[in-house]
Every structure is written in C-alpha cells, then in structure tokens.
Amino acid sequence: MAKARRIWNYLHPTERAMLQTPAQPCALPDLGSRENQRLIDDMFLTMRRANGVGLAAPQVGVALRLAVVLRLDAPDQDPYVLVNPVLDELSAQDEDDEEGCLSIPGVYGIVPRHIRLRLRAFDRRGQPFTAMADHLLARVIQHEVDHLNGRLFIDRATSFTRGESLLPS
Ligand code: NI
C-alpha cells in the first residue's frame, strides 16, 4: 500500500539545504527494488493528495534523480516517471507563465521557460523512452528537472504574483 510522504518545505532552514542540493543519478539495476518501486508509488500518491502536477524525489527527502509528472497531454495515462531525465532540443523561444511549488507553499511567480523540448529518461522499469512536450507539460518537466539540480522556481522568477513576503530574506 502506497502512503503519502511529507513534502519538504523551503521555509524550513534545514529542509531548504536539501532542496538546493543536486540529486544523485539513480542506479538503474536498483530501480526494481521494493524500496524504489515503493518510493515511486508513494510519490504518485503524494502528488495526487497535494493536487500537484509534478513531484521530484528531493521534495520527499530522497536525493535521487527521479520525478513524477502528470500526463497533462493524456490525462487517462499513468503519470510519467522520469528516471535520470535529460532535456534537449530546447526551443529558442521562451514563454512566461505563473508557477508555484509544493515545497514553497503560498508563493507564486512568473517564470520564463522553453516552450518546447525533448525529454529523454528511463521509466520505472528502467526502459529508456523519449517524449516531446510543449507549453504547460514542458514547463512542469523543466520545473521538476530543476529540482533534481537543486534549483527552485523562485531562482528563475522574474516577478512574484503572490506570497513573496513569505520568503526568507
Ligand atoms: Ni516544485
């Protein structure tokens, strides 16, 4: 049975350091372990309970290059599991939109992101896959890959729309 995990919070000084630390690559031969499969199921549930569209392992205190992303392009499909994701073929053109983050509750800002990209990653069985994404899905993928590199949307925001005063100075 999956269980929802606690989402680490940027406003917590000790948790902030973890959220800002680049995560380690997943060892593909270990991906099938009960512990790792359980982590993925728990991340699905944690994301769903929090009404999120994506969640990265460092947000639940696990420093691995692993994230889950809702299939905004195909809502009847299981969420993407991104293991060791790499982004390429990034569009030269950016677009601005509002973002928030489950680890920075109450704070929203405008973030420029590539409109289109190609995703290359491994799925939960360690099989490589490729996908093209654009607009909101591409934005969520970029946000989650940033988490794996210790970067948060507030580092890229050009302005804040809500909650800026909540951020530590
Ligand atoms: Ni986030």
CA of 166 to the centre of ligand 1 (A): 16
Q: Which residues surround ligand 1, an ion (CB under 5 A)?
A: 101
Tokens found for residue 13:
């000084």
> 16-55 as b/e, with b when 16 or more CB fall inside 10 Å?
bebbeeebeebeeeebeeeebeebbebbbbbbeeeebbbb
Q: What would the pLDDT profile of 55-108 be if each residue is shown by its tens digit?
A: 999 999 999 999 999 999 898 999 999 999 999 999 999 999 999 999 999 999
Q: In what order do the strands lie in the sheet with 108-114?
A: 94-99, 108-114, 159-162
CA of 160 to the centre of ligand 1 (A): 15
> In sequence order, which residues have a C-beta less than 8 Å from that of residue 102 and are 6 or more positions away?
7, 47, 50, 52, 55, 59
CA of 84 to the centre of ligand 1 (A): 17
Tokens found for residue 46:
């944690």
Statement: the pTM of the whole predicted model exceeds 0.95: yes
**Which residues form the catalytic set?**
144
Q: What is the pLDDT of residue 1?
A: 86
CA–CA separation, 90 and 32 (whole Å): 31
